[in-house]
């Protein structure tokens, strides 16, 4: 089984602020697993399936496909489903800005809300990935540094829809 981590850039003021304060080219991240795109946004964790997932995934500017061992996909999926219904963690944006400019950040203990990169980092931690800092402090650019995404534009099909087989995750060597 393969999961694909996706990175996005953006043109809104918030996107540009995220890229500025996290010192990198990405403002957003999401995770694609078993034909579903999990994306943390203003309304909390949203699941997209079918062609909508394909279209959203193909708008990514970078990706990393990760081969999963037995049980890792279930662990990721279970963690993502635990996040549903908790809303977006806007305080994480402030924390990222503080960390980038002043060298310290705030973590609200017991807060079950996530921003996009914290959601992805937390889900991957359940599959055994270890980060240099708390999941809730990971920015899209921290994840990119840790996972080294492939930039779009190289010859590949990131997400494809195969007649009769549904949506598949694909990348170089898959």
Q: What is the pLDDT of residue 154?
A: 38
Q: Report domain extents, the chain.
A: 2-169
Coil, helix or strand at residue 62: strand
Q: Measured between alpha carbons, how far is 97 from 59 in angstroms, rounded to an integer?
A: 26
Q: At the top level of CATH, which class does the domain 2-169 belong to?
A: alpha beta
Neighbours of 137 (CB within 10 A): 20
Instruction: Give yes or no for a contact between 135 and 105, defined as CB atoms under 8 angstroms apart.
Output: no
pLDDT tens by residue, 71-122: 999 999 999 998 887 767 666 666 666 666 666 666 554 566 788 888 999 9
Model pTM score = 0.79
Contact in structure between 91 and 111 (CB atoms under 8 Å) = yes
- Give me the sign of the Cα torsion angle 148, 150, 152, 154: positive
User: Residues for the chain: how many in total?
Assistant: 174
Each residue's pLDDT tens digit, 10-61: 888 888 888 888 888 999 999 999 999 999 887 889 999 999 999 999 889 9
């Amino acid at each position: 089984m393969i999961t694909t981590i996706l990175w996005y850039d953006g043109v809104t003021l918030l996107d540009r602020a995220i890229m500025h304060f996290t010192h990198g080219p990405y403002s957003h991240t999401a995770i694609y697993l078993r034909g579903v795109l999990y994306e943390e946004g203003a309304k909390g964790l949203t699941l997209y399936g079918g062609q909508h997932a394909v279209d959203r995934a193909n708008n990514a500017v970078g990706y990393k496909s990760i081969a999963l061992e037995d049980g890792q996909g279930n662990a990721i999926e279970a963690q993502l489903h635990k996040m549903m219904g908790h809303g977006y963690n806007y305080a994480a944006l402030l924390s990222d800005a503080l960390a980038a400019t002043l060298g310290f950040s705030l973590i609200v203990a017991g807060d079950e809300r996530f921003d996009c990169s914290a959601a992805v980092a937390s889900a991957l931690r359940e599959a055994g990935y270890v980060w240099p800092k708390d999941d809730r402090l990971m920015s899209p650019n921290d994840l990119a540094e840790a996972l080294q995404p492939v930039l779009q534009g190289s010859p590949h099909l990131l997400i494809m829809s195969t007649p009769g087989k549904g949506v598949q995750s694909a990348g170089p060597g898959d």
